[in-house]
Structure 1
Amino acid sequence: MAGSIKISSPSHFTELLAGSKLVIAQFYSENSVPSQQVADVFEQMSGAFSRPKLVAFVKIDTEQQKDVAQAYRVTSVPTFIIFRNGKLADRVQGSDPQKLQSVLNKLSEEVENISKGKSGEASGSGSGSGSASTGPNWKGAALPRGYTDVTDQIEVRHCELLNVDPDVGSVRVLFDTAKPSALSGGKSTAAKDWVESDTDEQLLLFMPFQSALKLHTLQITSIPPSGDDDEDDEDEDDVPLRPRTIKLFTNKPHNLGFDEAEDLSATQEIEISEDDWNADGTANIPLRFVKFQNITSLVLFVVDGDGDGEKTRLDRLRLIGEAGEKREMGKLEKIGDEPGE
């Protein structure tokens, strides 16, 4: 099998991203001892799993290809970035050969599926960056024309959700690509795949991203129990509500406190009306695009619920827009073309 490919220009890398379903990129430096420590492992795996036009292992010298490194925010070497269908899917930093071996081994099944013409969607790379779990790619609402679902750019393991009921789901379920169990008809015995607030109706969710994003739309799915559900004989205060007022804050380095979120001026404050929810319990919320152009993190503050109860519920969240690295690589192609003009 073919080995790794050394990237010679920004346009070279762009062509490889467009021409392969799965790209594993090693950002390295010839003078870096940590880069040398994992070089053999990377070459062994590239020799075993490279597939022309399907799976590519590439090496990017950060000294020679500074524009590419800058576009993907590579600040230390070695850094390994995994791309699926041209989109950044995962990132591994550091020179631990065992960690890299583990990540690449878990990719091997995906590689084999791609080679056999299967869907090749892996359950996760195992690096722990926490991209949303895969499954049937359920959508609560149609995507705006010209934009894509960029939820997979969320660093799930670094997300933080405050005031969440510990007896319901964890923050990870919000980004699950599977259809919410509440829409499956009938009551499920599976783990609860939604989140609810705990002591009052407020929630604070911090979401950092793997790369800078342009955000166009926020899709929130909330499916409170219907009036026919009398499970646990819940009183009105315990029945969760849909969110009504939310505040969004951008580019915060960490989560806010509730008092801080109450007092701060939001990037955008949104009132969700009853008419905004579709039949699948999803509100399609357009964002003020000019204010969401270069976003590295998002804080979502659920201020109150749509009613008199003391709990709010979220089943799914989707971020719709453009991944920042795609925009940057478009600029890099022009840079790469300049010498030949």
Structure 2
Amino acid sequence: VVFYFTSATCPPCRVLSPLLERISQAYVQVDFYKVQLEKAPAVASAQQVSAVPNLKFYKGGGLVGNVVGANLEGIQDNLQHHAGMPSNLEALTAGPETVGSSTPKPRRPSAYGIPGHSDLSSMVMSTQAGALNQNNDQPLANLFTPGDAYLESDVDEQLLIYFPFNQAVKLHSLKFEGPVSHAPKTVKIYANRPNMGFDETESVQPTQVLELTEADYAESATTSLRFVRFQNVSSVTVFVEDNLGGEDITRVQRIIPIGTPIDGAMMSNIRQGEEE
């Protein structure tokens, strides 16, 4: 994920913006967001943005790159280092007249088929996440690592998982991955409830209760949330009460949040945002 911090009063930003839109069309595998200082000063302050244009590159929940100024070479170096080569080379060689044109661009329009939303995994601060009743041999860190590794419960089937975001988000869905026989079944979701213990899962009203089935673990499946209840989410607590197979332990490979950052606009809206 790339966050582009800009300002309505920044001349270099006006030069850089159309170039970044073309780059965003080329890097289909990367989500680009624009954050305007005048509209989101708290976000800029939290990210220690003191000058614009400023691009910050996030991967795996952490900051991996930072480019200040209209440094196109530095931007491209960071993208190639962290995201590989562009998926759509034609976008980089298109003429200026095609930028912002009505021709549909080959950007990824959705995450898991959900229009207007993206995978927010890169915004999870995994170093500040926590889990109760985890097996130390199969710990929480596995939950944020793509692959076959998994988080496993310890003394019984229950898990209490907490993860914060690096900025507030609108949370639309969750995608659960795991071996079906041991995968979570009854799941209580709590928005903005850090530092919970197991006792509180009985006394605190969850934001939503999910009853997962085997279909929720299909490769293309996602589990929708009641979007109106998740409009300003800074952290999520997930209480796994039991699993599909009625096993003594629960295993979960990934919990992928899907939604939209509150204080960011997709690069596809960059021209509209600068005209407002």
Which TM-score applies when normalising by structure 1? 0.54
Alignment check: 8 A CA contact 1:159 1:208 kept: yes
1:247 matched to 2:188: yes
Q: Which ranges of structure 2 fall in alignment gaps of 5 or more residues?
A: 25-34, 67-73, 88-110
Which TM-score applies when normalising by structure 2? 0.65
Residue aligning to 2:179: 223
**Helix, strand or coil: the match of 1:304?**
coil
Q: Which ranges of structure 1 fall in alignment gaps of 5 or more residues?
A: 22-59, 93-99, 101-107, 122-140, 182-192, 225-239
- Partner deviation per Cα, 1:178-224 (whole Å, 9 max, x = no partner): 4x33xxxxxxxxxxx11110011111111110111111111001115
Identity of aligned residues (%): 28
One of 126, 138, 143 as aligned partner of 1:174: 143
Alignment check: 8 A CA contact 2:21 2:267 kept: no
1:162 matched to 2:132: yes
Please tell me the residue identity of whatever aligns with 2:130. Answer: E
Q: In 2, Cα distance between the equivalents of 1:326 and 1:113?
A: 19
**Which one has the largest radius of gyration?**
1
**Helix, strand or coil: the match of 1:157?**
helix
Closer/same/farther in 2, CA of residues 308 and 6 from structure 1, 3 Å limit:
closer
Closer/same/farther in 2, CA of residues 145 and 166 from structure 1, 3 Å limit:
same
- Partner deviation per Cα, 1:9-57 (whole Å, 9 max, x = no partner): 3884865754556xxxxxxxxxxxxxxxxxxxxxxxxxxxxxxxxxxxx
Alignment check: 8 A CA contact 1:67 1:332 kept: no
Q: In 1, Cα distance between the equivalents of 2:198 and 2:228?
A: 26
Alignment check: 8 A CA contact 1:81 1:91 kept: no
Alignment check: 8 A CA contact 2:57 2:63 kept: no
Q: In 1, Cα distance between the equivalents of 2:75 and 2:267?
A: 29
Q: What pairs with 1:305-320 in structure 2 (closer than 5 Å)?
A: 305-320=243-258
Residue aligning to 2:45: 74
Residue aligning to 2:150: 194
Residue aligning to 2:210: 270
RMSD: 4.3
One of 123, 143, 160 as aligned partner of 2:113: 143
Please tell me the residue identity of whatever aligns with 1:74. Answer: S
Moved more, 266-275 or 198-207: 266-275
Indicate the structure whose relative CO is greater, using CA pairs within 8 Å and at least 6 residues apart. Answer: 2
Closer/same/farther in 2, CA of residues 200 and 335 from structure 1, 3 Å limit:
same
